[in-house]
């Protein structure tokens, strides 16, 4: 069994465990490379079709290529797609720095969507290697009724024993690709021929390594215009994956504040 085979097997196990243990779940679809791999894995786990909705929490500030991708592949993959709008920036914490405050709209949008649909589990495509705060996450992460994350009070996860117990009104975040790396995502995308948004490939010496809203996401210097070239670049680069995300650089604790408040 290869590393990708082992990663795939564990992720499929997590999908099936979540579907078996929780009452009503949905999968968040950010349209980026990680959540596209996640949808591919879920389709494998359930023999070709997701047995739960895919949900896009929309800021209306995504790149046009992302909306075109969403509309095309929602039909191509036969997804039960839910699109929920984010509230205006005035609804977010005014003490956050500008980019972090803009990103916080998604936290509020997700909180409203969960309350509207009554999901007790929501699947999200975060990875431990993306940044230090996410490295502290669990595969099954219980959240309070306000969606907040208490990093100091998380259940242990030994030998694939996951805690899905809930208090009334709370929910669980499920992270089936938490153990993957950026390199794994691209290697698996290549192996499985998973479609991706063209913005990931170099144009005029720049490309996006992490996709978010247009106004708070920047491309990085890169000549990688194919999957082989992206993998070769990742093998030697010293630049962090989220170097183009503005909110990661505004203040030392900006991203941690977003995460503890419920950001993905």
pLDDT in tens, 24-48: 999 999 999 999 999 999 999 999 9
- Is residue 255 scored above 70 in pLDDT? no
Q: Which residues contact 173 (CB under 8 A, 6 or more apart)?
A: 121, 122, 123, 124, 140, 141, 143, 149
User: Biggest alpha carbon distance in the chain?
Assistant: 52
Quick count: other Cβ atoms within 10 Å of Cβ 148? 13
pLDDT (0 to 100) of residue 123 = 96
Two tokens at 120?
């007790």
pLDDT score recorded for residue 241:
81
Does 243 fall in a domain? no
Residue 93 belongs to some domain of the structure: yes
Q: Tell me, what's the pLDDT at 145?
A: 73
Give the pLDDT of residue 250: 65
250 occurs within a structural domain: no
C-alpha span between 4 and 36 (Å, rounded)? 16
| Distance from chain centroid for Cα 252 | 22
Residue 114, in any domain of the structure = yes
Give pLDDT, residue 6: 97
Task: Please determine, for residue 143, whether its predicted confidence score (pLDDT) is greater than 70.
Answer: yes
Contacts of 240 (CB under 8 A, 6+ apart): 131
Q: Phi, psi at residue 250, to the nearest 5°? A: -75, -45
Q: What is the pLDDT of residues 168-182, one digit of tens each?
A: 778 899 999 999 999
Higher-scoring residue by pLDDT: 34, 262: 34
CATH code at 141? 3.40.50.620
What pLDDT score does 53 carry? 97
Contact 244, 217 (CB under 8 A): yes
Statement: residue 230 has pLDDT above 80: yes
pLDDT of res. 188: 98
Whether 204 is covered by a domain: the verdict is no
Residue 181: phi, psi to the nearest 5? -110, 170
Q: Mean pLDDT across the chain, nearest whole number?
A: 89
User: What residues are paired with 55 via a beta bridge?
Assistant: 28, 82
* Higher pLDDT among residues 246 and 22, named by residue: 22
Q: Which of the two residues, 51 and 168, has the higher pLDDT score?
A: 51
Query: Does the pLDDT at position 218 exceed 80?
Result: yes
Q: pLDDT: is 132 or 227 the higher one?
A: 227
**168-191 residues labelled b (16+ CB within 10 A) or e (exposed):** eeebbbbbbbbbbbbebbbbbbbe
pLDDT of residue 171: 87
Residue 34 lies in a domain: yes
What's the number of domains the chain is made of? 1
Q: Residue 199 domain-assigned? A: no
What is the structure's pLDDT at 40?
Answer: 98
Strand order, beta sheet including 121-123: 81-85, 54-58, 25-28, 121-123, 171-174, 140-143
Q: What are phi and psi of 82, to 5 degrees?
A: -110, 130
Q: Which residue has the higher pLDDT, 94 or 123?
A: 123
pLDDT at 135: 83
Q: Which domain holds residue 76?
A: 3-180
**pLDDT at 128 > cutoff 90:** yes
Compute how many other C-beta atoms are within 10 angstroms of the C-beta atom of residue 80: 14
Three-class SS state of 45: helix
Domain assignment present for residue 159? The answer is yes
């Amino acid at each position: 069994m290869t590393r990708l085979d082992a990663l795939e097997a564990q992720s499929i196990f997590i999908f099936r465990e979540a579907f078996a243990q929780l009452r009503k779940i949905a999968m968040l679809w950010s349209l980026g490379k990680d959540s596209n791999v996640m949808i591919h894995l879920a389709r494998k786990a359930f023999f070709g079709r997701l047995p739960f909705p895919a949900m896009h929490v929309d800021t209306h500030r995504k790149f046009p290529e992302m909306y075109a991708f969403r509309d095309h592949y929602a039909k191509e993959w036969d997804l039960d797609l839910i699109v929920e709008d984010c509230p205006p920036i005035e609804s977010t914490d005014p003490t956050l720095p500008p980019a972090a405050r803009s990103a916080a709209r998604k936290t509020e949008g997700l909180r409203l969507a969960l309350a509207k649909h009554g999901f007790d589990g929501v699947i999200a495509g975060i990875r431990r290697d993306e940044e230090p705060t996410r490295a502290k996450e669990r595969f099954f992460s219980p959240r309070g009724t306000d969606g907040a994350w208490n990093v100091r009070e998380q259940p242990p996860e030994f030998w694939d024993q996951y805690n899905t117990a809930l208090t009334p009104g709370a929910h669980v975040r499920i992270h089936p690709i938490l153990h993957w790396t950026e390199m794994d995502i691209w290697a698996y995308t290549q192996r499985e021929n998973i479609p991706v948004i063209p913005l990931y490939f170099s144009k005029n010496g720049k490309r996006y390594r992490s996709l978010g809203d247009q106004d708070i996401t920047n491309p990085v210097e890169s000549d990688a215009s194919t999957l082989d070239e992206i993998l070769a670049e990742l093998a030697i680069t010293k630049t962090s994956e989220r170097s183009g995300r503005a909110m990661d650089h505004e203040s030392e604790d900006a991203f941690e504040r977003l995460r503890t408040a419920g950001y993905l």
